[in-house]
Amino acid sequence: MNKPALTEADFRSQVWSRLTKDLQERLQELRQSNDNTQLSQDQTLLIRGQIKEVKRLLSLSTESAGMSGTPFAGDANLSDFPDDQ
């Protein structure tokens, strides 16, 4: 993946911190939806794709921190969110 277009300052902002919180909540909602045994295969695949995209967004600050060596405030620990596929 390419280097994020966001800067270190962006990842240290209150906006990023709030966005990270919202993304983590969305991830939990999607996971709960994915646990529904009444979903069709297509619905399950859609939710899994959404989960993957939310995790990609959450990983942006981790990837950028890896380049600078310093984690950012509000970073999600993606090991807390194992793959759902």
pLDDT digits (tens, 9 = 90+) for 23-79: 999 999 999 999 999 999 999 999 999 999 999 999 998 777 665 555 555 555 555
Query: Residue 64 falls within a domain, yes or no?
Result: yes
**What distances in angstroms separate CA 51 from CA 7, 14, 44, 81, one per listed residue?**
24, 24, 10, 10
Determine the average pLDDT of the residues in 77-82.
55
pLDDT at 62: 79
Burial class (CB in 10 A: 0-12, 13-18, 19+), 60: buried
Residue type, 33: S
Q: pLDDT band for 16, please (50, 70, 90 cuts).
A: very high
Q: Which residues lie below 8 Å from residue 76, measured CB to CB, with a gap of 6+?
A: 20, 23, 24, 58, 59, 61, 62
Query: Residue 25 falls within a domain, yes or no?
Result: yes
Write down the pTM of the prediction.
0.71
Q: How many domains does the chain have?
A: 1
Query: Residue 16 falls within a domain, yes or no?
Result: yes
pLDDT at 51: 98
Domain of 31, in residue numbers: 9-68
